Amino acid sequence: MGLFDQILGAVANPNQQGSLGQLGGIVNSVQQMSDRTGTNPSTIQSVLSIVGSQVRSALQQKQATDGNQAAQTLVNQYAGTSPNPQAVNSLFSPQIQQQVAQVAAQRTGLDAGIVQQLLPLAVPLVLNFLKSGANVQNPQGGGNSVLNSFLDADGDGDVDIADAIQMASRHMQR
C-alpha cells in the first residue's frame, strides 16, 4: 500500500490523527511556499520529495538507535505547517542541511540558498504528513501506519512525499 493510501486511511479512521483539515493545511503551505519563491508547486513538491528522502534517512537512523517511539516523538514534536528551524536542526546536521539544499538546487533549478530558507517549513510539512497515522488516544504508541510505511526499509528508495502532496491536492479539489 502506498504512502498516500496510508494517509487516506488515516484520514478515514477516527482513531488516527489524519484529517482533511490537516491535508488542506499541508496543500496550502505548499502553495504559499510556491508563491513566496515564485516557482510552480511541482518544483516545491520536488524539493519536498528530496527533503522527505533525507527525513526518512534521519528517522530510520533514529529508529535504529533509539527505537520506534523516539522516531514517533520527533514526528509529534515537530510536525506542523509553520516554519520551525528546530525541526531542521533536530534531524539534520548543518552539513546535511547544505547537502539537501545543493541536491535540491541541482534537481529543481532553485537557488541552494532559497532551498535552505525553505527547510524550516519543508521539514515540518513532511513530518505533518507522517503524523497523520498516529493514534488519537495514544500518539506515542507505535501504531502509526503512515510513519511505519514511510520508514519501511524495503530498499526501493521510493519516497513519495511529492506524489502524496499531488494526490492530496487533487483529493481536496473534489
Q: In this predicted model, what pLDDT tens digit does every residue of 31-41 receive, in sequence order?
A: 999 999 999 98
Return the closest-CA partner of residue 13 out of 135, 114, 96: 135
What pLDDT score was predicted for residue 26?
Answer: 83
Question: Per-residue confidence at 86, pLDDT binned at 50, 70, 90?
Answer: very high
Tell me what pLDDT residue 74 has: 94
**What is the tens place of the pLDDT at every residue in 96-107?**
999 999 999 999
Instruction: Using DSSP, state whether 64 is helix, strand or coil.
Output: helix
Residue 21 has pLDDT above 50, yes or no: yes
Query: By CB neighbour count within 10 A (0-12 exposed, 13-18 middle, 19+ buried), where does 110 fall?
Result: buried
Residues facing residue 81 across a β-bridge: none
For residue 136, the model assigns a pLDDT of 82
Section 70-79 average pLDDT: 92
The string of pLDDT tens digits covering residues 145-171 is 788 878 765 545 454 566 566 666 666
110 has pLDDT over 90? yes
